Amino acid sequence: MPDFEFENMHDGAVFGLDEVGRGPLAGPVVAACVYIPKEVYSLAFIHELNDSKKIAKPKLEMLYALIVQHCEWRVAEISPSEVDEINVLQASLKAMELSLNAMSTTPCFALVDGNKLPKLPCPAQSVIKGDHKSYSIAAASIIAKVTRDRIMKALHLEFPYYGWNSNAGYGAKVHMDGINAHGITDHHRKSYAPIKNFMLHGSTRGAIDSAV
């Protein structure tokens, strides 16, 4: 379970950074930066924070609302076309950089989920599986996931053939069937193998889901 061990190593404001959306065939990459002030550490909801993938949707929404209420946070998104242009790793790093730079509090230190560091204006540490280890990173993972899920649900209203309200743009069967029946949109990542396969051959079949 996460805790504040990493945050407590530093005296000033420590920010947590995480991103979601590297694997999907469609939609943006979204990153979040969260600063949990010291006076918030004792609030009960903090101890419910965890990797967003391990939290049921109703609880995820509840935690999102509490983080928004009690913490400082920002999100940034990178469009599918820019993901294609700079690659998904660079898109993830850029989104995290943008989200931190949008914060109003000056950071003392940043904790970044994963094993790569974006270009940041403060010292930082990458933490593998950081959303399992740091409350700040876990909070960022929740903000990023809920934000991206909402984006994909909104896009689903405009493009109902792909099941984005339930698969968030990943290569689920309903999504692949929708591509094969209705083609692709500007929200699809054209550098990803199933989309490239469709553009070349008119079918996603035989491609590896979410492969770049």
Mean of the per-residue pLDDT values for the chain? 95
The bridge status of strand 72-78 relative to strand 109-113 is: unpaired
pLDDT digits (tens, 9 = 90+) for 147-189: 999 999 999 999 999 999 999 999 999 999 999 999 999 999 9
Residue 209 structure tokens: 């889901």
Q: What is the mean pLDDT of residues 32-43?
A: 98
pLDDT score, position 157: 98
Domain 7-155 has CATH 3.40.47.10: no
Kindly tell me if the per-residue pLDDT of 60 is higher than 90: yes
Q: Where are the domains of the chain?
A: 7-155, 159-201
Find residue 53's DSSP bridge partners.
none
CB contact set of 202 (below 8 Å; sequence gap of 6+): none
Please tell me the pTM assigned to this model.
Answer: 0.94
* Packing angle of the helix pair 173-182, 193-201 (nearest 10 deg): 30
